[in-house]
Amino acid sequence: MDVSVTVNGTTYARDVEPRKLLIHFLRDDLDLTGSHIGCDTGNCGACSVLVDGVLVKCCMLLAVQANGASIETVEGISENGELTPLQQSFNEHHALQCGYCTPGMLMSATALLRENPSPSEDEIKKALQGNICRCTGYWNIVEAVKAVGK
């Protein structure tokens, strides 16, 4: 089926099998490999992206369902190659180790901060509940997000 999506401002038109998951489409068809796959049950959140501004795990979405949508992925967060305050805060607080869950964490944090610019620690934990990290124990990630909150 024909699918046209806009990812980080660029519009891509492709012919895809209906069965293809959006995450496979992004990674394999569009070579946007920043979003990751950490599970096969929708639990880990490594594939979290924003679809029309809504935070979703794109392993539970078919690529064809995203037809016409505007998608934001980790590749689109930085402005002209520079780290954003959120990314800098992750760096300062050592909020990543292997970095595999980080793109999904950043997207979840981005969605949170857009709605709630100064979240409490509990609000941050709840916002990150859908993203598994096996390296950090989350403490530094929560700190990093708290620090960018106004």
Partner 1 sequence: MTESSTTTVAPAPVEVQKGWGGQSIKRKEDKRLLQGEGVFVDDIKRHGMGYLHFVRSPYAHAHITSIDVSAAEAVEGVYGTLTGEEVAALTDPFFQISSAPGANIKDYALAVGKVRYVGEAVVAVVAETRELARDASELVEVEYEPLPALVDAREAQKPGAPVLHDDAGGNLMWSGLYSWGDVDAAFAEADRVIAIDELHFHRFNSTPLECDGALVEFNRGVEQWTLHTNNQFPGFAAIMMGPAMKVGLDKLRFVTQDIGGGFGNKITSHPQLVVCCLLARKLNRPIQWTEWRTDFHMSMSHGNERWFSDTKVAVSNDGTLLGFKTKALDDAGAWLRYEPLGGVIWAQVTPGMYRWRHIELEFTQVATNKAPVSPNRGYSRMQHLWFTERVVDIVAHELGLDPVEVRKRNYIRAEDMPYETPNGCVYDSGDYARMLDLALELIGYDGLGARREQAKANGKLLGVGIGSTLDSGTNNFGQSRMINPELQFSGNNEVATVKLDIFGEIVVTLGTTPQGQGHETTAAQVVADILKCSPDDVHVRAGHDSYWNSHAGFSGTYASQFAVTGLGAVKGATEMLRDEIFKLAGAVFGGVPAEALELADGGIRIKESPDAFLPFMACGAIINANNAGLPEDLDVTLNCRYVYRPPFQVPDIEKKFGNLTLTYAAQIHVAVVEVDPETGYYEIVDYAAVDDCGNRINPQIVEGQVMGATAQAIGAAMHEVFSYDEDGNLLTPNFYDYHVPHALDMPPLATGAIESPSPFTPLGTKGMGEGGGAGIHAICAAIQDATGVQVKQSHNPYQRVWQMLQ
Partner 2 sequence: MLLREVEYAKPGSVTEALELLAANDGARALAGGQTLINVMKARAASPDMLVDLNGLRELKGIELAGDGTLTIGAMTTYTEIMRSAEAKARPILGEVCATIADVQVRNRGTIGGNVCSNDPTNHLPPLMVAVGATMTVLGAGGTREVPAEEFFLGVYMTAAGPGELLTKISIPAGKKDGFAAVTLGAEGTCIANAAATVNGSVRVALGCVDAVPVVVTADSPDGVADAVRAAGLEPPSDVHASAEYRLHLATVVATRAAEEAASR
**Partner residues linked to 21 by β-bridges:** 62
The residue within the footprint of partner 1, chosen from 47, 48, 103, 110 (CB under 8 A), is 103
Provide, rounded to whole angstroms, the least separation between the CB of residue 59 and partner 2: 7
Give the DSSP per-residue string, 103-116: HHHHHHHHHHHHH-
Q: How far apart are CA 147 and CA 119, in angstroms?
A: 10
| Closest C-alpha to 48, from 66, 18, 74 | 74
51 forms bridges with which residues in the sheet?
Answer: 54, 71
Residues 23-82 that bind partner 1 (CB under 8 A): 24, 27-28, 31-41, 43-44, 46, 73-75, 77-78, 81
Residues 29-58 within binding reach of partner 2 (CB under 8 A): 37, 40-42, 45, 48, 54-57
Joined tokens for residue 10? 């660029």
16 binds partner 1 (CB under 8 A): no
Binding site for partner 1 (CB under 8 A): 17, 19-20, 24, 27-28, 31-41, 43-44, 46, 73-75, 77-78, 81, 83, 87, 90-92, 94, 96-103, 106, 124-126, 128-142
